Amino acid sequence: MSESAAQPVLPALPVTFRPTRTRVVLLGVGLVMFVTISAIGLLLKDLGGGERLSFVFTAALFASVLLLLSRPKVVADEGGVTVVNLTTTRRLEWAQILRVNLRPGDPWVFLDLNDGTSLPALGIQPGVAKEQAIGDARALRALAENHGSGPRES
């Protein structure tokens, strides 16, 4: 086994993990959709002011959904981890994280916590950038094992 597999390199803290490619696609599509739908609404001559406004409102609604989907991230610092998912943010101390899991077929990382629950961390997801997600999961696992109460492998 290689030395890098045995001892993952700990990233410098603070570090933010997020699905960068997915985020770029979501924000790009949201912007293009907003501009296109708004322009159509404003350029159609037969529409009244309220109807034009409804086009812009609908475009803003679609763009805000894509913005919400681009929100997930995991921020690790000296004190612990902040998990930002679609609509929730949860702060965890390092000691609360027992294990960082990214199994084949998982849509994102799961954090096994010391209260017996599991917290999804949507900020690390292998969908578009599998290698980045695997590297991020390994780095977060190494940080959790180094700073917290998780298992230490020899």
**Is 55 in the same domain as 81?**
no
Q: What is the pLDDT of residues 8-37, one digit of tens each?
A: 678 889 999 999 999 999 999 999 999 999
**Is 51 in the same domain as 93?**
no
Q: How many CA atoms lie within 13 A of 98 on its CB side?
A: 8
Within-domain flag for 3: no
- Retrieve residue 91's tokens: 């702060």
The Cα–Cα gap between 51 and 55 comes to 7
Query: Given CA atoms 89, 95, 96, 99 in this order, what sign does their dihedral have?
Result: positive
Q: What is the pLDDT of residues 116-147, one digit of tens each?
A: 999 999 999 998 788 999 999 999 999 999 98
pLDDT band at 99 (very low <50, low <70, confident <90, very high): very high
Tally of domains within the chain:
2
Q: Are 123 and 72 in contact (CB under 8 A)?
A: yes
Residue whose pair of structure tokens reads 């803290």 in the numeric block? 13
Task: Give the pTM.
Answer: 0.82
Q: What is the mean pLDDT of the chain?
A: 90
Sheet holding 73-77, edge to edge: 15-17, 73-77, 80-84, 89-93
**Is 54 in the same domain as 76?**
no
Within-domain flag for 7: no
Burial environment of residue 116 by CB neighbours within 10 A (0 to 12, 13 to 18, 19 or more):
exposed
Of 150, 93, 84, the closest CA to residue 121 belongs to 84
> 78: domain range?
12-18+72-147
Q: Degrees (nearest 5) of the Cα angle 89, 66, 60?
A: 115
